[in-house]
Amino acid sequence: MKDQRDRGNQYFSPRLDQAAPDLFKDNLGSRHRRGSIWKVVFQISTVIGIIALATLILKIFNDTMGYAAIEYKQPPSTLAAGETSLDLMTCDQLWPILAANVSANRLRTIERDTPRESLSQQDCYNLVLYEVAEPKAKQTWSLLASIFNFEEIQAIVDEKYPEGDLEFKVWLNKSFIVSPQSDDPLRAGIKTAILGSLFIIVIVILFSFPIGVAASIYLEEYATQNRFNRIIQTNINNLAGVPSIIYGMLGLAVFVRFLEPITSGTLFGIGDPTTANGRTILSAGLTLSLLILPVVIINGQEAIRAVPNSLRQASYGMGASKWQTVWSHVLPNALPGILTGTILAVSRAFGETAPLVVVGAATFITFSPENIFSKFTSVPIQIYQWTARPQDAFQNIAAAAIIVLLILLLVLNATAVLLRNRYSRRW
C-alpha cells in the first residue's frame, strides 16, 4: 500500500487500469498538501508585511526615550551646593548661580535678550543648566536596551565617562516641541520646522484646492469627448506618476530662479534682505502644490462622478443653467469626497522631503518664519538633517521628530476618514 502511494504521482504508471480510483485519491492528497503549504506561504507573507509595519513603529518609539550618558562642565549637584536640587529652586535662588559662573559680558547679553522679570522658573533653570552646567550627551541607549541591559549600560558609563551622569531622557517632551532648532541635541527643538510645515501647507491648500477642484469640474462637467480633453486627462494621469524629485527640479528652475523677483518678495519690497533669493516658503509651497495637483484632480473627479445624473437632470429640468447646476447641486453633494481626497493629497505633501531639499530648504535656521518670503525648513527636512548626523543623540531627536510628523499625519488622515464617514452619501 505504501509502495503504491509513493508512486502515486506518476500519471502513466502501469497500475492505471487496475487502480484508477486509488491513483486519483493519491493525487488529491498531494494537491491538497500543496494547497495547504502555499496557504501557509501566503499567510506568512501577510504576516511579514504586518511585522514590517510593527517593527518600524516600535523602532521609532524605542528611540524616543532611554538612558543617556551626559557629561557636565559643572555638574548641577555641585552648583546646588548641597541645598535643594536645581530644578526645584526659584528664579531668585538660581540667578546668583548664573551670575557667579558666566562672564560679565555674557550676563549682560542674557539680560538684554531675556529680561529677568519675564523669566519663569523653568526659563531660569534652563539658563543655568545650559549656560553654566553645559551638559553634553555622549552616548544614548534605546528604551529596550535601557530596560533590559541596565547593568551593562551602567558599567559602560562608569568605564568610559567617569565624570558623566546616567540620566533617563524622554526625547519627545514639551521643550522639544516649543524650542527652535539648535546645534546641541539636548536643546534642539522642532518649533521652527512645525511652523515652516504649516506655512507651506497653507500655501499648498490655497493654491491646489481651487485649481484642482476647478480642473475636475471642467473635466467631469464641461469637457466633451474630444482629442484635446483626452490629452488633458492622459496628461494628468501621467503627472500623478512623475517622481516627486522631478517636481523639485521644476520648482528650482521655475519658482526659485525664473520667478525669483516674485517668490523672493523683492518685487513687493517685503522680502528678507539677508537672503534675497527665491528659496522661500512661497517657492516650496508652490512646488508642492504642483506635486499634489494631479492627485487632487483625480480624487475630485471621482467624487464628482459619484453624484448621480438624476440630480443634474432635475436641476436642468427646473431651468437652471449649467453653472447653477454645478454650483448648487453637484458641488455640495461632491464636497465631502473632494475634501477627503484633498486632505489625503495634502498629507502626502506634508511628508514630502526630496522636492523641498532640491528647492532649497535652509540647512540651519533658528528663527521662526515671519511671512511667506522667509527662508524655511519643515519637519521632514529636519528629520533628514538629524538622521544624517553621526552623533547618537541626533538619532533620538530624529525619532522624536518622526513621532511628531506621524501624529500630525494621523490627525490629517483621521479628519479625512471622519469627513468621509460623516457626510458621504450612497446613491
Dist CA 156 CA 141 (whole Å) = 11
Q: Is the separation of the CB atoms in 282 and 202 below 8 Å? A: no
Looking up cell 487632487 gives 296
- Residue 204: how many CA atoms within 13 Å on its side-chain side? 30
Least Å distance between CB 237 and other proteins? 6
21 in contact with other proteins (CB under 8 A) = no
Stretch that binds other proteins, among 52-60, 95-103, 154-162, 187-195 (CB under 8 A): 52-60
Site residues for other proteins, window 94-113 (CB under 8 A)? none
Tell which residue, 105, 182, 172, 178, has the closest CA to residue 136.
Answer: 182
Sheet holding 165-170, edge to edge: 135-140, 65-72, 165-170
Q: What are phi and psi of 115, to 5 degrees?
A: -55, 140
Least Å distance between CB 290 and other proteins? 6
414 in contact with other proteins (CB under 8 A) = no
Site residues for other proteins, window 190-229 (CB under 8 A)? 210-212, 214-215, 217-219, 222-223, 229
Tell which residue, 224, 225, 222, 229, has the closest CA to residue 321.
Answer: 222
Q: Closer CB to other proteins, residue 107 or residue 357? A: 357
DSSP 361: -
Query: Binding-site residue total for other proteins (CB under 8 A)?
Result: 86
Write the interaction track for other proteins spanning residues 253-292; mark x where CB under 8 A is met and - where it is not: xx--xx-------------------------------x--
Tell which residue, 397, 401, 364, 367, has the closest CA to residue 185.
Answer: 397
DSSP 20-47: HHHHHHHHHHHHHHHHHHHHHHHHHHHH
* Contact residue for other proteins among 185, 248, 285, 341 (CB under 8 A): 248
Q: Is the separation of the CB atoms in 340 and 419 below 8 Å? A: yes
Q: Closer CB to other proteins, residue 107 or residue 403? A: 403
Dist CA 387 CA 372 (whole Å) = 27
* Contact residue for other proteins among 15, 136, 348, 420 (CB under 8 A): 348
148 in contact with other proteins (CB under 8 A) = no
384 in contact with other proteins (CB under 8 A) = yes
Least Å distance between CB 173 and other proteins? 20
Write the interaction track for other proteins spanning residues 287-316; mark x where CB under 8 A is met and - where it is not: ---x--xx--x-------------------
3-state secondary structure of 5: helix
Dist CA 385 CA 130 (whole Å) = 23
35 in contact with other proteins (CB under 8 A) = yes
Q: Closer CB to other proteins, residue 373 or residue 384? A: 384
Least Å distance between CB 105 and other proteins? 33
* Contact residue for other proteins among 109, 234, 313, 421 (CB under 8 A): 234
Q: Closer CB to other proteins, residue 129 or residue 286? A: 286
230 in contact with other proteins (CB under 8 A) = no
